[in-house]
Amino acid sequence: MKSLKKKRRIQILAAAAVALVLAVALIGYGFRDGINLYRSPSQLAEFHPDPDEVFRLGGLVEQGTLKRGDGHVITFAVTDGGATVPVRFEGVLPDLFAENAGMIATGSMQNGTFVASEILAKHDENYMPKEVADSLKEQGVYQPPNS
């Protein structure tokens, strides 16, 4: 009788372990395209991502680099004070997007240019995304709001 209970316990533990491994694999598979890592321009200068890797780039829009091309193509440069990355975006920019303002873009690197699929801009004059503020502080360029 004890042998049957022991066998049943081992079977239940084995089934639970298989279910756990399957659940972790399914969760990982579901998140594979949904996780976008944040990188600053200085981090991109040190580490070059794969061309098909989608990530977030944040910093300040560099003064004098915002250019509107044909149609909805916009080019500009993003800086954190330590490095600058050229950005190309095709679409409509947020209303509060401006030079010397914080922004975060989602996209990938193609031939040395960050091609953005989505751009997020600050929502008022006092807000700056935490990631952007942290990378600007690292470079010593951060200026607190109302300074």
Written as one letter, the residue type at 80 is D
Which residue ranges make up the annotated binding site for heme? 123, 127
**Rounded-to-integer distance, Cα 26 and Cα 129, Å:** 31
- Which of 70, 86, 90 has the alpha carbon at shortest distance from 78? 86
Question: Cα–Cα distance between 62 and 124 in angstroms, integer?
Answer: 18
- Residue 141 sits at the vertex; the CA angle it makes with 138 and 147, to the nearest 5 degrees, is 125
The closest alpha carbon to 36, from 101, 103, 105, belongs to 105
**Binding-site residue positions:** 123, 127
Residues found in the chain: 147
